[in-house]
Structure formats: C-alpha cells, structure tokens
Amino acid sequence: MVKNGILVIINPRSGIRLKPNIARLTRSVLDNEKFDINISMTEYAGHATELAKQAIADGMKYVIVAGGDGTINEVAKALIQSEVAMGIIPIGSGNGLARHIGIPLVIREALHIVNNEKVEKIDYCEANGHLFFTTCGVGFDARVSYKFSKGRHRGGINYLRSMMTEYLSYKPETYELVFEDEKRKEKAFLITCANASQYGNNAFIAPQADLKDGMMDVAILKPFTPLDILPISLQLFTKKIDSNSKIEIIETPHLTIHREKAGEIHLDGEPMWMDKTIVIKTIPAGLKVLVPQNRKEMDHPLQVLFGFMFQQIKTVRNFVEI
C-alpha cells in the first residue's frame, strides 16, 4: 500500500496555552498505515510558507498546520489553487478559521479529522493582492491589532485591554466604499470584510458569513457612544451583532475602500500598512481544507459568552500565578 505524504508544520510560538509535545502526539495519533508523516518546526516569519511550497514540490497530499490564524495564513497562501489540502491543529490565541469550520481545540481530536480525510473547498480573499482567509479590516480593529502586535503578551484578556486603551483616543474616519453597483461615503468606527464569521475567540463580527458562498460579508460599525459598548460587546460574543442598529452588513464579492490617507489594516489578525485605496475581492473555492465528518452543533450563544469569560478568568489567574 502506497502511503500519502503528509507534512505537519508546527509554530512553537503560537498562542498562550501550555502545549504538550505536539510532534510526539501527532505521530501517535495520525494513522501511520495511511500516511508517511513528516514534521517541521517554523523558525522565522514566512518560514511556514516556504515549507508548504516545498511540500507541494515534494508531492505531499496534505499539509497540516499547528498554529494560529497568522501561521495558517502563511501556509494557506502557499496552497491556494493546488491539489494539496490543508489541515488545522488550532493552537493559536484566537483560532478564528478553525472555530468557524468546527475543528476542535483539543489537539488529539483535531488530528482525528486528518485521519478521516474529508476535504472541502473554501473561498479566500485578497486585499491589494495580500491574501486573507478569515477577516480583514480598517479602522478601530486594525489599530488595536497593530498595538496588540507590539505587546509582550497574547490572549483574549490582553486584546480586550488594548481595545479599551485605544477606544479612549480613537476617532472614527470617513471612507468612500464602492460595491458592485453602489458608491457611498460612510463615517465608520471600523469596517470588517469577513470571509469567515468571526475574528477568533468566538467574537462573531459577521454571524452569517459563509466560507463557500463566493461572497464576503462587509460589516460597517457606525460611531457609537460609551452606553453602546456593553450591548455591542454582548452581541459580538452571542452571534447577535447583526441585530444592532449601529452595524450594517452587506454581502458582496468585491469592495473598494478609499480613505483619506494610508494606514493600518489587519489581515487574519496580522497588522500591516496599506495604501489609502484598498481593493478587496473574493476568490471562490480556491483552497482545499480538511474538515470534520459531522460538524457539531454550535454552542448556545450564552454558553459561548460564558465560556469566553471563563477562559479569560483562567488566563488572568495563570498570569498572576506566574
């Protein structure tokens, strides 16, 4: 029996969780009768992309990435429009793509999905030629992402701290938005283009977003008062943000954003600097991904909210103990 080649790319710096020996666990859980298993560790930014490209050249059938959304982005952009499917072991701080697809955060369970070999095609998007697979955005979340990337600690509680600090000084900007058949000006707190439904950590900015519909959900959050913060936050984590009057969500395959000056943008949570004109488009069914055989039903929104709160309490407690 000829085994399928499989490369597991591990980012040892992803996330905030203490990790078991992922390489050893991978070799024990993956089906050695099916797969010829190869494992590589990333050593620097962009290394995952290089490893994934080499995996294609070597004739691998699957590339499995153990990391967060940033590492997944590096691997996925090498695999687009190829016959090689990507698997995910979510060990990042947000895990937005894995959560949307329904991949468990338990490493052993995520590896079993690879053994089952169920593959689906999903969309991806481009912003001025730069690829993203979950969300990209301008405005407040891009500013927070940039500030967060400069901090020493990862995790949801630190992201929330960055949000609160930036909110006190942030001024909403005016954007010109060009859709398929419409042009408009909007003063917005943030604009998020969502291929997947959430940023990560079950923060659902576009609850109805679908990875396989050839569209992105553009979420426009209008300026709001401090009194709106609590309901917006609750709705963000209970998949109800689209019911808030301060937000508008538009489905479109492409969007052009004109802003007053160049500035920050985030792509799958990773910040970068981009020109004042940003052309964003969806590329349908361009990436093969290993997915669960039977996706579990999503938790009730209140379970999601309280689960997130409990996760952050544990993070604070662990940080204090350290």
| Nearest residue to 142 via CA among 27, 37, 263, 49 | 263
Task: Please state at what angle helix 47-57 crosses helix 69-79, rounded to 10 degrees.
Answer: 30
Q: Where are the beta strands (DSSP E) in 153-293?
A: 173-178, 183-188, 190-194, 216-221, 247-252, 254-258, 263-267, 270-274, 277-290
Q: Are 248 and 241 in contact (CB under 8 A)?
A: no
Query: Can you read off the two tokens belonging to residue 51?
Result: 């490893």
Q: If you ran DSSP here, which 8-state letter would residue 198 be given?
A: B
Q: Are 289 and 123 in contact (CB under 8 A)?
A: no
Query: Can you read off the two tokens belonging to residue 87?
Result: 């698997």
Q: If you ran DSSP here, which 8-state letter would residue 134 be given?
A: S
Q: Phi and psi of 3, rounded to 5°?
A: -85, 150
Q: Phi and psi of 24, rounded to 5°?
A: -65, -40
DSSP labels for 70-104?
A: HHHHHHHHHHTTSSPEEEEEE-SSS-HHHHHHT--
DSSP labels for 5-49?
A: EEEEEE-TT-SSS----HHHHHHHHS-TTTEEEEEEE--STTHHH
Domain range annotation of the chain? 4-117, 130-284
Q: Are 290 and 128 in contact (CB under 8 A)?
A: no
As its CATH architecture, domain 130-284 has: Sandwich (2.60)
Amino acid at 227: L
Q: Could you tell me how far CA 101 lies from the centroid of its own chain?
A: 11
Q: What is the pLDDT of residue 51?
A: 98
CATH topology of domain 4-117: Rossmann fold (3.40.50)
| Burial class, 245, CB count within 10 angstroms (exposed 0-12 / middle 13-18 / buried 19+) | exposed
| Nearest residue to 237 via CA among 139, 153, 163, 137 | 163
| Strand, coil or helix: 313 | helix
Rounded Cα distance, 285 and 81, in Å: 9
Q: Taking the chain (322 residues) in consecutive chunks of 10 residues, what is each chunk's mean pLDDT?
A: 91 67 93 96 96 98 96 97 98 92 95 97 98 96 80 61 78 95 94 96 95 98 94 93 96 97 93 96 98 69 52 39 30
**How many CA atoms lie less than 13 Å away from 215 in the CB half-sphere?**
15
Query: Can you read off the two tokens belonging to residue 140?
Result: 């407040």
| Strand, coil or helix: 18 | coil
Q: What is the pLDDT of residue 164?
A: 75
Q: What is the pLDDT of residue 256?
A: 98
Q: What is the pLDDT of residue 237?
A: 92
Q: What is the pLDDT of residue 20?
A: 57
Q: Are 5 and 63 in contact (CB under 8 A)?
A: no
pLDDT digits (tens, 9 = 90+) for 198-227: 999 899 999 999 999 999 999 999 999 999
Query: Can you say whether the dihedral through the CA atoms of 52, 55, 56, 61 is positive or negative?
Result: negative
User: CB neighbours of 143 closer than 8 A, spacing ≥ 6?
Assistant: 166, 170, 264
Query: Can you read off the two tokens belonging to residue 27?
Result: 């070799």
